[in-house]
Amino acid sequence: MTTHRLIRLPLASLLACAALSATAQGLRIPAAPAATAAPAPSARGAEAQKTADYIVAVVNSEPITSHQLRTEVQRAVRQLAQPPADERELVAQVLERLIGDRTQLHFARESGIKVDAAAVDEAEQNIARQNQIELEELQRRLVAEGIERTQFRNQLRDQLILSRLRDREVNQKVRVSELEIDQFMREQQQIQNGPASELNLAQVLVALAEGASAAQIAAAQAKAQSLLERAKAGEDFATLARQQSDAPDAQSGGEFGMRRADRYPELFITATRGLAAGAMAVARSDAGFHVLKVLERRSGSMPASSVVQTRAAHILLRPAPQLSEAAAMQKLADLRKRVLAGQADFAALAKENSQDGSAAQGGDLGWASQGQFVPEFEAAMNRLSPGQLSEPLMSRFGAHLISLTERRTVQLSPREVREAVRSIVRERKTEDAFVSWAKEVRSRAYVEMREPPG
């Protein structure tokens, strides 16, 4: 399946702080504007001074205003599972990121890197598809968030420019030697029996409003405990998250993805410490009650010696002027009914209707490991059991109907393990190289910090 395999558009990670709230698997556009604003960068002075717009920094003659900084701080706060421990530190971090972005954009302009309107159009469409909404609905939600479309598109353009710049200046220059792979494998073998350094958690959030009464807190706690018991009794955790969670990541099943422990809130780590994969607990934060499930723990950073592979088939319909997204979804719903009723064969319908290269094989995608499909497609596929059909879903490529054929666990060959290690080492080297390069670019730029007026 050429339209899905190995495709990883950078927008989800690039826009984590640039547009709206994001999940582990992609940018999610909130259905309603956030009700809570982040604190102003400075607590000094009168209340009017907190909202007045003034210049906080100048980068190569371009100003960064207090309004721009407040806006980015608000977005950063909305992505946190709990209020920041140190608000001033968060403001400083956000300001430093803005300065870094400005210096890199200035360098990109000097280097002649440009992004045309067609690329921005495609990025905008991708975000709408990832959130399974029409472009018009995306624009409506942006307005509800107080973000003009021109502003949003400018942010997309900047992030695409930064992505191309990083790829040219950093990513393409990183090489991993066989000696580095050997050294990494030796180091990981030494800590194989040590404590888990990476884990994958999922959550169901029962939110609490600021200033909630004792009765509201008790009700939220009771609901969280009830959800915990339902999950322990065998209900699918991802389904509970999609149906019950108040968190932005609800539609992705509440999954955060594999990450280092220090990238989780401390209360999450405390609540799940000592829990094996599959175990659950409840944690309390200022945001509410979090029902947490440990999906996976990994000792050290060695890749697993075995992987779960999935074999699925799909029918893809690409929206076009003659076929709206809604019409494509309805057509797939009708095909699904025919298959479930025994009136048609899935493979035959795929050959007749699918607009993917897999149509000739009855929609068969072959055996695939985790990460080979785009997140929205893979998440829907992973919820299926062999023999099941998905509901119609939208991805950045169009509308899909998925049939899961089989799952298996396969052992990786020594060569495959080394290639997986190569990817890990390359990612680490790339991050280190990017940090060094970004510092160098910043050091060459003119940066002037300004104090608040008054």
Express each pLDDT in 347-366 by its tens digit: 999 999 999 999 999 999 99
Assign 191 a pLDDT band (cuts: 50, 70, 90): low
Phi-psi region at 234: left, alpha or beta (left = phi > 0; alpha = psi -120 to 50): left
Predicted confidence at residue 392, as pLDDT, reads 92
Average pLDDT of the residues in 11-22: 32
Does the structure show a pLDDT above 50 at 34?
Answer: no
- Read off the pLDDT of residues 81-121 as tens digits, 9 standing for 90 and up: 567 778 888 899 999 999 999 999 999 999 999 899 988 98
Tokens 């710049």 -> residue: 165
205: three-class secondary structure by DSSP = strand
Query: How far apart are the C-alpha atoms of 425 and 261, rounded to whole Å?
Result: 19
Q: Are 22 and 12 in contact (CB under 8 A)?
A: yes
Q: Are 280 and 228 in contact (CB under 8 A)?
A: yes
Alpha-carbon distance values, 160 to 79, 116, 172, 414 (Å): 21, 10, 16, 37
Query: How far apart are the C-alpha atoms of 224 and 273, rounded to whole Å?
Result: 19
Average pLDDT of the residues in 212-235: 92
Average pLDDT of the residues in 226-238: 90
Does the structure show a pLDDT above 90 at 235?
Answer: no
Assign 197 a pLDDT band (cuts: 50, 70, 90): low
Assign 186 a pLDDT band (cuts: 50, 70, 90): confident
Assign 299 a pLDDT band (cuts: 50, 70, 90): low
439: three-class secondary structure by DSSP = helix
Predicted confidence at residue 228, as pLDDT, reads 94
| Radius of gyration over every alpha carbon of the chain, rounded to an integer in angstroms | 24
Superfamily of structural domain 11-172 = Porin chaperone SurA, peptide-binding domain (1.10.4030.10)
pTM of the model: 0.54
Assign 30 a pLDDT band (cuts: 50, 70, 90): very low
Assign 376 a pLDDT band (cuts: 50, 70, 90): confident
Predicted confidence at residue 4, as pLDDT, reads 34
Does the structure show a pLDDT above 80 at 19?
Answer: no
Predicted confidence at residue 57, as pLDDT, reads 93
Give the burial class of 362: count Cβ atoms within 10 A of its Cβ; 0-12 exposed, 13-18 middle, 19 or more buried.
middle
367-398 exposure pattern, b = at least 16 Cβ within 10 A, e = fewer: ebeeebbbbbbbbbbbbbeeeebbebbbbbbb
| Equal fold, 11-172 vs 306-411 | no
Which range in 127-141, 182-196, 288-302, 358-372 is most confidently predicted, on average pLDDT?
A: 358-372
Predicted confidence at residue 326, as pLDDT, reads 87
CATH class of the domain defined by 306-411: alpha beta
Q: What is the mean pLDDT of the chain?
A: 82
Does the structure show a pLDDT above 50 at 37?
Answer: no
As a whole-number percent, the residues of the chain with pLDDT over 70 amount to: 84
Closest listed residue to residue 14, CA positions, set 161, 147, 198, 168: 161
Average pLDDT of the residues in 372-380: 85
Predicted confidence at residue 11, as pLDDT, reads 32
CATH code, 195-299: 3.10.50.40
Amino acid at site 226 = S
Tokens 């509410």 -> residue: 288
Tokens of 159: 């992030």
Closest listed residue to residue 152, CA positions, set 11, 10, 20, 53: 20
Q: Are 23 and 252 in contact (CB under 8 A)?
A: yes
Predicted confidence at residue 282, as pLDDT, reads 94
Assign 300 a pLDDT band (cuts: 50, 70, 90): low
Assign 75 a pLDDT band (cuts: 50, 70, 90): confident
Pairwise pLDDT comparison (180 vs 148), residue with the higher score: 180
Average pLDDT of the residues in 328-349: 96
Please report, for the chain, the start and end positions of each structural domain, with discontinuous segments joined by +: 11-172, 195-299, 306-411
Average pLDDT of the residues in 126-149: 81
Pairwise pLDDT comparison (76 vs 288), residue with the higher score: 288
